[in-house]
Amino acid sequence: MELQKFAYDNRLVRMFMYATILWGLVGMLVGLTVALELIFPHMSASIPWLSFGRLRPLHTNAVIFAFVGNGIFTAVYYSTPRLLKTPMYSELLGKIHFWGWQLIIVSAALTLPFGYTVGKEYAELEWPIDLAITIIWVVFGLNLIMTMVNRRTKHIYVAIWFYIATFVTVAVLHVVNSINFPVSFLKSYPVYAGVQDALVQWWYGHNAVAFFLTTPYLGLMYYFIPKAANRPVYSYRLSIIHFWALIFLYIWAGPHHLLYSSLPDWAQALGVVFSVMLIAPSWGGMINGLLTLRGAWDKVREDPVLKMFVVGVTAYGMSTFEGPMLSLKSVNALSHFTDWTIAHVHIGALGWNGMLTFGMLYWLWPRLFNVKLYSRGLANAHFWLSTTGMLFFAIPLYFAGFTQSLMWKEFTEEGFLKYPNFIETVVQILPMYYIRALGGTLYITGILLMIYNLVKTTQAGKFIPFEEDQAPALHVQHHGSDKGHRVIESKPVLFTVLSLVAILIGGIVEFVPMFMVKSNVPTIASVKPYTPLELQGRDIYLREGCYLCHSQMVRPFRSEVERYGDYTKAGETVYDHPFQFGSKRTGPDLAREGVKTSPVYKPASWHYNHFLDPQRVVAQSIMPPYPWLIKNDLDISTTPKKIRVMQKLGVPYPEGYDQKANDELMKQAREIAGTLRQSGIEVSENKEVIALIAYIMRLGVDIHENNSLGQK
């Protein structure tokens, strides 16, 4: 057989490596900033775009889609051509992919801090950016699939299976969850509402973890661990079983983010059991990673690359055991809404994604620059800083989550809440926030060492833009020579289609009944659409990222009903585009904030004072001040359009209401300004704070008004 000569292009790999490091540093610095803002609420100096609610989405998006995203593409663009013995299909597509993705990241950084957000976690980006992501993702997929078509190896290796699953699933998740109806160039409303929106969002959110943070990194692991250790993969059979089991089961598990919410019991149960069933398939990956190192443990002791891989894969094993445990209702009742979740995700992000990325970079750099790594000692120091940084980050937060949850639930002997004031439970865990910030600082210090080390390596070496290789052409396949799984390994397009089928099933089984069967969201007659002023206020609530610290979901527990009021019903959220259940209670739940008979009720003047200066009313509060809400005029030019879009989404405003909406808006605003004036607060009715107060004081009241009417 004649050998064909070809070359691998390292230039794009280098660009993705640089981008990984740059965005990793940026994303983590923003993370450290928001961690410090929780300790020093005045750190943002009343600058809107520096406030916690605006920066936190920037942190999560940057780490997930910019740092890990570019890490994925580094691995894919380096390993795929070598595994398939062919250059990437198109240099042009590769460049469009690279620059397109960086442009998306920059546009995220230019919109999120300025409050342009859909208000759904990890899917915050507004619709034009969503469209750009879709296009670039297709460019990436096309490049990947065409490279497989052009391959010179008969079969595709397990790393590529995981890349395929990543491509198809992320495409499906992103498109389905981001169907938003535009109001203007940078404002849109999701087509789903309330508990249905929640189900779609957490199907997406959970599987963003699965198919953006996990499967591509399993692919990365399957290439770089055997390479770095120079060992064969532990078990091919395990690869097959855990791959298909993982991608089929993962997609079902989203509802575990909504345990004890108003999601129906059957859907919650699916979230529980599919999470539990994920332990073994996840551990299959860990076993195959760690046992590949059998026979190379002596190397692990010395080589910082392998050490990082070992800690990374171990962190993966830990968090994929912890995840299913957190999905058990009894554990979730404790862990949900607390810092426990934050600790859990950072074991994954700092341990699994971070360590694997660093290991890959330290392995690739000397090969691409044809020189020895500048300093193995510095790399080892980086390893220790990352490992201890991760522990200093996570352990205090486990403690904080556990402590705060127990305080929320504790009753006195007389049957009253032991800590009725939420702030007591915050003050208790503040020391843990200090240690967490220290952990983050250690971790970032490690990255700075890495950057120095890699810059020095680059200076000493010479970049190899192309690597020559040769292989025989792939001849027409002999049908019948393959058996079992080998058959589809030689048919990458079929493989792609089968993966797609595997990941569609779970979503369809959960969504169809949720959207088609009415009993899943029982209607409550007294629940009415928001008034125009409340709707505008709600958009301010989204803009400021209030949902990142305040939930709107009272769970059916005695401790929550006593603290907040009636637990939340599915029918109450049917006009919420998007839903605002939240996932973390850094501050108290707000679902019953407007209910006069609830223990959390506050008058308008309290809210005004609290937005202006939270520490004046709650001395130890860690909420930042929002003086700009009092300064800014409310933009009411958007009201008619917003009403019309809501009507299109099925919110029953009367015909022609869009034209009357602003009159009603001003009427309600004047009422609230009047109430404030009676309390001695002079504020013009056209300020943003009026709309936000209107929204907050509407929360949770509809079902109670019904009760009082019934009593009359």
Partner 1 sequence: MTNTDENIRKEEGYEVDTATNVRLIKDHEYDGIKELDNDMPSWWVWLFIITIAFSLIYLVRLWVFRADDLLQEKEFQKEMAAAPKANKPVEELAMAWLDDDMSLNNGKETWTKICAVCHLADGGGLVGPNMTDNYWIHGNKVEDLFAVVTNGVIEKGMIPYKDQLSPRQRLEVISYVMLRLHGTTPATPKEPQGELYE
Residues 558-597 within binding reach of partner 1 (CB under 8 A): 558, 561-562, 567, 596-597
Residues 419-478 within binding reach of partner 1 (CB under 8 A): 420-421, 424
Quick note: the x/- pattern for partner 1 over 675-694, rule CB under 8 A, is ----xx--------------
Among 152, 227, 418, 641, binds partner 1 (CB under 8 A): 227
Residue 655, Cβ neighbours under 10 Å: how many?
Answer: 6
Q: How far apart are CA 390 and CA 70, in angstroms?
A: 21
**Which range binds partner 1 by CB under 8 A, 64-72, 135-143, 149-157, 574-582?**
149-157
The tokens of 475 are what?
A: 């001849």
Among 6, 29, 32, 82, binds partner 1 (CB under 8 A): 82
Nearest residue to 697 via CA among 566, 537, 529, 524: 537
Q: 283 vs 657, which CB is nearer to partner 1? A: 283
Q: 562 vs 705, which CB is nearer to partner 1? A: 562
508 binding partner 1? (CB under 8 A) = no
Among 403, 428, 458, 609, binds partner 1 (CB under 8 A): 609
Q: State the minimum distance, in angstroms, from the CB of residue 601 to partner 1.
A: 5
474 by DSSP, 3-state: which? coil
Q: How far apart are CA 91 and CA 143, in angstroms?
A: 9
**Which range binds partner 1 by CB under 8 A, 200-208, 228-236, 544-552, 622-630?**
228-236
Please give the angle made by the CA atoms of 27, 162 and 87, to the nearest 5 degrees: 90
266 binding partner 1? (CB under 8 A) = yes
Q: State the minimum distance, in angstroms, from the CB of residue 675 to partner 1.
A: 10
Q: State the minimum distance, in angstroms, from the CB of residue 58 to partner 1.
A: 32
146 binding partner 1? (CB under 8 A) = no
Greatest distance between any 2 Cα atoms in the chain: 92
Check if the beta carbon of residue 453 is closer than 8 Å to that of residue 598: no
223 binding partner 1? (CB under 8 A) = yes
**Which range binds partner 1 by CB under 8 A, 265-273, 348-356, 437-445, 499-507?**
265-273
Torsion angle, alpha carbons of 538, 541, 542, 545, to 10? -170
Torsion angle, alpha carbons of 102, 107, 113, 116, to 10? -140
Among 465, 599, 650, 674, binds partner 1 (CB under 8 A): 599
Among 602, 641, 660, 670, binds partner 1 (CB under 8 A): 602
Q: How far apart are CA 112 and CA 114, in angstroms?
A: 5
Residues 312-331 within binding reach of partner 1 (CB under 8 A): 329
Q: How far apart are CA 101 and CA 477, in angstroms?
A: 37
Q: 233 vs 454, which CB is nearer to partner 1? A: 233
Nearest residue to 552 via CA among 534, 537, 572, 524: 572
393 binding partner 1? (CB under 8 A) = no
Q: State the minimum distance, in angstroms, from the CB of residue 368 to partner 1.
A: 16
Question: What residue type is 497 in one-letter code?
Answer: V
Nearest residue to 323 via CA among 290, 282, 381, 382: 282
273 binding partner 1? (CB under 8 A) = yes
Angle between helices 52-61 and 91-111 (to 10 degrees): 170
What is the separation of C-alpha 577 from the centre of its chain, rounded to a whole number of angstroms? 19
In 370-421, where does DSSP find H-type helix?
Answer: 376-409
Residue 416, Cβ neighbours under 10 Å: how many?
Answer: 9
Q: 422: part of which helix (H) or strand (E)?
A: helix 422-460
**Which range binds partner 1 by CB under 8 A, 24-32, 460-468, 598-606, 701-709?**
598-606
**Which range binds partner 1 by CB under 8 A, 166-174, 188-196, 414-422, 428-436?**
414-422
How many residues belong to the site for partner 1 (CB under 8 A)? 76
Q: How far apart are CA 480 and CA 483, in angstroms?
A: 7
Q: State the minimum distance, in angstroms, from the CB of residue 171 to partner 1.
A: 25
The tokens of 576 are what?
A: 């919420």
Residues 104-143 within binding reach of partner 1 (CB under 8 A): none
522 binding partner 1? (CB under 8 A) = no
Q: How far apart are CA 397 and CA 11, in angstroms?
A: 41
**Which range binds partner 1 by CB under 8 A, 64-72, 340-348, 610-618, 683-691?**
610-618
Residues 44-63 within binding reach of partner 1 (CB under 8 A): none
399 binding partner 1? (CB under 8 A) = no
Residues 4-33 within binding reach of partner 1 (CB under 8 A): none
417 binding partner 1? (CB under 8 A) = yes
In 528-656, where does DSSP find H-type helix?
Answer: 532-543, 558-564, 604-612, 614-617, 627-631, 639-648
Q: 602 vs 660, which CB is nearer to partner 1? A: 602
630 binding partner 1? (CB under 8 A) = no
C-alpha separations of 235 from 294, 418, 482 in Å = 12, 54, 19
Residue 448, Cβ neighbours under 10 Å: how many?
Answer: 12
Q: 191 vs 279, which CB is nearer to partner 1? A: 279
Q: 271 vs 507, which CB is nearer to partner 1? A: 271
605 binding partner 1? (CB under 8 A) = yes
Q: State the minimum distance, in angstroms, from the CB of residue 419 to partner 1.
A: 8
Q: 83 vs 343, which CB is nearer to partner 1? A: 83
Q: State the minimum distance, in angstroms, from the CB of residue 159 to partner 1.
A: 8
2 binding partner 1? (CB under 8 A) = no
484 binding partner 1? (CB under 8 A) = no
Q: How far apart are CA 559 and CA 562, in angstroms?
A: 5
Q: How far apart are CA 712 and CA 704, in angstroms?
A: 13
Among 618, 630, 649, 666, binds partner 1 (CB under 8 A): 618
With 0-12 / 13-18 / 19 or more C-beta atoms within 10 angstroms meaning exposed / middle / buried, residue 350 is: buried
Q: What φ, ψ does residue 287 adopt, rounded to 5°?
A: -60, -45
Q: 294 vs 462, which CB is nearer to partner 1? A: 294
Among 55, 83, 88, 661, binds partner 1 (CB under 8 A): 83
Q: How far apart are CA 477 and CA 485, in angstroms?
A: 16
Residues 693-712 within binding reach of partner 1 (CB under 8 A): none
Q: State the minimum distance, in angstroms, from the CB of residue 168 to partner 1.
A: 21
Check if the beta carbon of residue 314 is closer than 8 Å to that of residue 179: no
Residue for token pair 């002023």: 533
Length of the chain: 712
Q: State the minimum distance, in angstroms, from the CB of residue 319 to partner 1.
A: 17
Q: 339 vs 560, which CB is nearer to partner 1? A: 560
Q: 159 vs 521, which CB is nearer to partner 1? A: 159
403 binding partner 1? (CB under 8 A) = no
Q: How far apart are CA 303 and CA 223, in angstroms?
A: 17
485 binding partner 1? (CB under 8 A) = no
